[in-house]
Amino acid sequence: MMNHHDIFSGLFGGMGGLFSSAEAMLHQAFHPKSDDITVSLEVTLSDVYLGKKKSVVLDRKKGCGGCRGAGRVMTPCRACQGQGISMTAIQPFPGYIQQVAQECQLCRGTGYAGRGNCPTCHGQGALVEKRQLDVRIPRDCKKNHEIVFDGLGHHLPGEESGDAVVVLRVRDHPVFTRRGAHLFMEKEISLAEAMCGVELVVDTLDGRSLLIRNNPSAMVKPSSIRAVESEGMPVSLQHSHNLTYGNLYIKFKVKFPEVLDAETCGKLKDLMPSSSPLNIDRTREGVEEVILSEFDTSEERNPLDEDSDDDYSFEPGIQCAHQ
Ligand SMILES: [Zn+2]
Ligand SMILES: [Zn+2]
């Protein structure tokens, strides 16, 4: 049988979808849809890495079968058991008794005593059923990732089922930040480690421990980034069940010692490649010696602040070039 939807598809469908929104509106008018159910499911980055399966339970409203969603039911008349007629014995002449069908006096022949609440749904017209949904966490799960289950939302009588929407919310990881297929982390190391080689242990999202070493001859400069190949997030390859992995990137923060005593400074100077001597005569008139002082960039009146009155702006690129 052709329904409204087919008829309107027939009318508008041939016009290249020009009326698709009008069609959708008409479809909506003839086929009202029950509400969607949206549930949040918190997952860890480890769950995403492992592509774990999780379950959610929905409270799904369904039309009551007992009253077809009306909430109220007709109660049969007790006098006539819903027949609408009652049998009365009459005696047309002595010695003869006849049963005659008469309209039930109590319900006036309707068979019903009146309307009452449906005992199944207590007048609500709908029942709430628990429905479990199994969700496989996709590898490309975004921070707020929606998975739609068509037709598993509320379903009230005379309406099409709504959809169930499961929103996967990926909790922040204490160590890793995800960007696409890659993982990023920061690691603070000492100046000695930066110069002489660093070793660190990183616990992976699938429960392994990586012992990561840096080649001692390759110094780790402050804020430099090193990669551990294929220790990022798994990515499903197209048309295949095989996985490929992004990289783990580690940004090193080098913690410099707060102070160095003169003896240590002397030893270090002897050990380190020296800088070229200054081309200045300290005793010449017009030469002034000044000491660098601390500059607190967090101070309220920061002369390098973009909001300060003059136009001077801090250019990190220029600062680097002068180093
Ligand atoms: Zn009911
Ligand atoms: Zn009756």
Residue 273: the pLDDT is: 80
Residue 300, SS3 per DSSP: coil
Residue 8 CA, ligand 1 centroid: distance in Å = 34
Per DSSP, which regions of 20-52 are E strands? Answer: 37-43
- Note the ligand closest to the C-alpha atom of 68: 1
**Tens digits of residue pLDDT in 152-211:** 999 988 889 999 999 999 999 999 999 999 999 999 999 999 988 999 999 999 999 999
Residues of the chain with confidence (pLDDT) below 50: 1-18, 308, 312-323
Taking the C-alpha atoms of residue 315 and residue 145, their distance in angstroms, rounded to an integer, is 38
Residue 96 CA, ligand 2 centroid: distance in Å = 27
Taking the C-alpha atoms of residue 28 and residue 162, their distance in angstroms, rounded to an integer, is 12
Residue 103 CA, ligand 2 centroid: distance in Å = 8
- CB neighbourhood size of 293 (10 A): 5
Residue 63 CA, ligand 1 centroid: distance in Å = 8
Question: 177-255 is classed in which CATH architecture?
Answer: Sandwich (2.60)
pTM (predicted TM-score):
0.66
Residue 75 CA, ligand 2 centroid: distance in Å = 10
Residue 65 CA, ligand 1 centroid: distance in Å = 6
Ordered by start, the domain boundaries in the chain are 1-31, 72-117, 177-255
Q: Can you name the residues that pair with 73 across neighbouring β-strands?
A: 116
**Tens digits of residue pLDDT in 103-127:** 998 888 888 887 888 988 998 889 9
Residue 125 CA, ligand 1 centroid: distance in Å = 5
